[in-house]
Chain A
Amino acid sequence: MNPPNWLRAVGRVSLWVWAALGLAFLFAPILVTVVYSFNEPEGKYNYVWNRFSLAGWTDPFKYPELTDALVFSLKIAVVVTILSTLFGTLIGLAMVKYRFRAKGLLGAILVLPLTMPEVVLGFSLLTLFVAVNWSRGFITIVIAQVMFSISYVATTVRARIRGFDWRLEEASLDLGASPVRTFTRVTLPLIAPGVIAAALLTFALSLDDFIITYLNSGLDSTFPIQIWNMKRSKIPVQINVFSTALLVISIAIALLLVVTNNRRARRLAVGS
């Protein structure tokens, strides 16, 4: 019944090789993004390797339209992160802590945006803006991004704070703390890690989003939209420079988060 040992060894090795190839498949474009930030393309398009150069890094702001778009993207990401973290956390709290009618319906409405192609979400929102004659720009982009981010925040927060001991809040109230003090001293520290994780996810999603944002952006350009608009005229090295810089910053933040989480876990372990 059992296959011979040599066959099993072959199977095990090929499984490893296949998985390594899968990782390489995921990793290759990232490597290309970084390496090509050091390219000096021959024409206007940074598609073919020509020769090593630091030109992109020494002159990152050469194309003001690209820089402006990145700044615009960051502004939007800040506003979207604040709004959707607030709204989503409140929903997550309500769904974990309380029993109420229509909880199932709310859950379904929260999942639905995640099961719909972005192009449908973006286009349907656009039909609303057109119906009420709203011009597209900063505000409509924020509205669109908050719309899909709420679901992610509520889901993340809900998963992270499930099973907490909410009697601590009652204990605080019983001991004479005001509701505000109870919230800042008891509730907030309890939910903080989940909320921070959700906020970072939202920030990343906002910077990354293209399809929904594009359909509702009017004449304003976020960083991805600017690249989209440039694709027929030029693809400069600076795109890769900014992307590499963002990649390094993201990795640094992720590492910082892992370190602080570990420290927190260790502290909690010592305390108990």
Chain B
Amino acid sequence: MTTVAAPRPRRRDREADDSGVRARRWFTPWLLIAPGGLWLLIFFVIPLFSLGRLSLQDGGFSNYPQVISDNSTVIIRTFVYATCATVAAVIIGYPLAYVIATKGGRFKNLLLALVVLPFFVTYLVRTLSWKILMFDGGPVVGVLHSLGILSENQGVLGSPFAVVAALTYNFLPFMVLPIYVSLEKLDRRLLEAAADLYSSPARAFRKVTLPLSLPGLFAGTLLTFIPAAGDFVNSELLGSERTVMIGNIIEKNFGKEFFRPELSALSFMLMAIILVGVIIYARILGTEDIA
């Protein structure tokens, strides 16, 4: 996961990673790599090609415009939900990571343990527990009623809000942990220097802390956005027909007619959009100076 963290590793870092000695016998490293490498080749790389080929069956490249126009609402909805969940995760996760990293003191490890605690309960059960929390008469609905956001007879389940909230929850630890790591590494003397040079704390945060935590923010954003965009569990358990995402379409059809080229085109498109997004995002964060 740490490999994702650096949008553009500095030359020196990369060399440190790749150091190592020439093996006494040239084939030693290859022998070590062979079992796992072949596994990845056969069950990861080749299937991607098989998926790509399948997506071009029958209609060729015209499958793609077809799939996009057939599912345009769902595609847009998927990326809107994933974006909302990611933004919400930043808003909740960054301050949390900041407090743990800079003010955690001796409770740091305990607080981190609380952040990863959700992983000790299966994903599906966690999501079902959200269903309990958001059930009519439950605490979430109660709070929204008393705040006047919902009228008396309205519920939350089935709404986009329920799906986005659960997506945010499920992938929030992936946002907090990388940000925590980058804030933890931050050299506190830089902040002292900023204060000595008459910078206000807010300005020091903007000029020092934030730029130096960008790699963590970058990794966290990807680790939240990617699984959120491909998810179908939250929409199925907490949503309704109004909240169908790309994943739900694949989930609904893979058993019956999964050889359908359209379904392959849909998954390939999901992957392609995410990969292109990742590259653009890496470019922006890697080159532009955030001032």
Contacts and interface: CB of A to CB of B under 8 A. Distances in A.
Whether chain B is bound by chain A comes out as yes
Interface of A: 1-3, 8, 15-16, 18-19, 21-23, 25-30, 32-33, 36, 46-48, 84, 86-88, 90-91, 93-100, 103-104, 106-107, 109-121, 123-128, 130-131, 143-144, 146-147, 150-152, 154-155, 159, 162, 166, 204, 207-211, 214-215, 223-224, 227-228, 231, 235, 239-240, 243, 246-247, 250-251, 254, 258
A15 B97 CA distance: 11
B267 A120 contact: yes
B96 A22 contact: yes
B119 to A, nearest CB: 7
A7 to B, nearest CB: 10
B202 interface: yes
A195 to B, nearest CB: 14
A19 to B, nearest CB: 4
B125 A33 contact: yes
Contacts of B85: none
B4 A33 contact: no
A111 B4 contact: yes
A13 to B, nearest CB: 12
Nearest to B166: A29
B100 A107 contact: no
B69 interface: no
A23 B114 contact: yes
Given A8-B201, A19-B95, A30-B129, 18 more contacts: A23-B111, A95-B20, A99-B18, A99-B19, A109-B40, A109-B41, A109-B45, A110-B40, A117-B229, A119-B250, A120-B267, A143-B43, A147-B40, A211-B247, A214-B251, A224-B123, A224-B125, A243-B121
Interface string B11-32: 0000001111111001011101
A90 B33 contact: yes
B267 A119 contact: yes
A26 B2 CA distance: 23
Give the 8 A-B CB pairs with smallest separation, nearest first: A117-B230, A87-B36, A29-B129, A94-B32, A124-B51, A19-B99, A22-B96, A124-B47
Nearest to A130: B259
Contacts of A27: 114, 117
Contacts of A116: 226, 230, 271, 274
Given A48-B137, A143-B43, A97 B20 contact: yes
Nearest to B51: A124
Contacts of B18: 99, 103-104
A209 B121 CA distance: 11
